Structure 1
Amino acid sequence: MANNAASNSTAVVYISYLYLTEFTWAANILIPSWPAMTLFGFVANITNILVFLRIGVNDNVTILLLSLSISDLMYLTLMTPTVCSYIMLIFAPYWPWPTHIVIGIELLYWPAITCYDFSAFLSVWLGVTRCACVAMPLQFKSVFTKGRTVKLVLASFLLAVCLRIPIMTVNRLGWRTDPNTNISYAYVENHNRRAMTQINDILNRNSILYINFIIMIACVSILSFKLYQASRIRKSYTSASTTQQTSEKPDRQGLSAKDMHVIRSVVLVGSIFIMSQAPFLLFSTARLISDKFDILQTDRNRYLFFTFSIVSLTCSYLNASVNIFVYYNYNSKYKSELSSMLNKFKKPRTEI
């Protein structure tokens, strides 16, 4: 190809860190799992979207869960070029690229992260709405109406985009000429990278991230305590009662069995969010404290940066893919509708 020499030299720079001990396990264990996680994430989120649409978007929780599935699907789609480029750089560094290899890594990275921010906002709103449902059940329906929830989703998306606009202006497509062949090829050029990165680190990677993290921890803690409290009261009430109680009969805390299943699902989604965000939180804090913790450095900090990047990206893939298990186990409508959809694909038995 025209730019083989330029691409190969860049590839050598990118993969030189592979020979360090702290990076080897991440490169050889986590990165090979990305294609399978990507494929599963596509299937899982498309399934979620179809199921929620068939159920009917009639309440605020379903609206948020449907929006979360769409956002996760968008994130996986936009992040796929970056993931594929990383895999090619590491396992096939001398592949003859038709364009500059950094295009695949950086061009759609920040739009993908914007979708991931949108998913984070939706996860936080799920926790907040469930806390509000427990704290003020009588006022809940009048406060979090279907129309307001739709407006909240749209506002969250616009907020995610606006917060990432500074860093998304850094990467631009340009053209270079290979001195060996005198043929031009596309590449990604950076404008005001250091200044925009600092703004992004302070605003998105730390301030907003910490706010979301703290709110989600508070919501998960409150809901977990309410579940524990309701479970104890339900057990004592059931043991003292001589009549069998139905699954929809509320306990003394106003939580029916259906309510408890919904809250459990939100707690699990929130817990997945917390665990997946923790490595990224440490990664962002370290980058804010030390400006040497960056991809552009040439010392050991660069290798640590790549290691944390791989761990964080793997956690984000898990966060965008595994919610289907939560929905299936704790959402009776979801489980019933999914089972009905799967039964339609089964071939009927023919009698001889």
Structure 2
Amino acid sequence: MGLGFGIPAVAMAIAVVSFFIGTRLYRHQKPGGSPLARIAQVLVASIRKYDVKVPDDKSLLYEVSDKESAIEGSRKLEHTELLKFFDKAAVETQEEKIQSHVNPWSLSTVTQVEELKSIVRLLPIWATGIIFSTVYSQMSTMFVLQGNTLDPHMGPNFEIPAASLSIFDTISVIVWVPIYDCIIVPLVRKVTGNERGFTQLTRMGIGLFVSMFAMLAAGVLELVRLRLIARHNLYDYKGFLPMSIFWQIPQYFIIGAAEVFTFIGQLEFFYDQAPDAMRSLCSALSLTTVALGNYLSSLLVTIVTSFSTRNGKLGWIPDNLNRGHLDYFYWLLAILSFANFLAYLLIAKAYTYKKAVKVIED
């Protein structure tokens, strides 16, 4: 999946974009400016001080003396040992100590540095949501193509369009939310002692695991569909197969259950773990996985089509699905989901939660 090198690549992309922003905003923003400006300031300052040694005593790193941080709407954050290179931005040189004005593009507060570290720490968790969103996007793509071949009749005079079956995903969410809040959480709370039942990371992990079964259910249905076609020699049949479209309901229902765990857990996690003044940015970041999941789905279809149509073959997903192997595509997504889940377990185990500095009242 490339997660091993994908995260540094994403971090580097943010660094490049932020550095570009920094060159445009240089000397025109204060630490309380926009989140992207503050990220750019830390990156610029740390790069400018690449040869500066970080003191062993981290209390010597620059921070304002006030109870609150220099960033409006943000509490001070404790220094962490991760991503030590960025600590260079908070090293106060002798020249800066005697200056009356702090240049935010050459000196950042510890809290500002920790803001950037918090964002970078979230990126691996964020990346694992892309595969989940790829699975989620199948409801509006492959599930519809599969459903278009099945019998949509409900009674003698009514047909249900394949695209409208996504209503069962919505119904699943409506059913699972009260089940989760009223039954699962109280039961798990007795075991874990956690007020929320599961931790947010555990909740997301469960959703990632459950999402695999949506692809397995879709793949099994496709196998049954292809066997029906083979049994009755319906390869070139243009009408609806003698198989109800409602056999698709389980795969929609499973995705809805996975949503309740992953999407809701993801929003809560990004909001809680984001620095105080960057919660809107991080909430928006979590939602970008949906768009990227759609892009990845399109990319996978392109790759699969290119690979499976070699030597004049029809491929996995031809125009006539009756002669294709859509089940292979579902197995591929199931394998990717499982690999993504394993990667998530490692990432979640290594994750450290943010810590705010406790303010002692006078």
After TM superposition, the score normalised by the length of structure 1 is 0.30
Structure of higher CA gyration radius? 2
After TM superposition, the score normalised by the length of structure 2 is 0.30
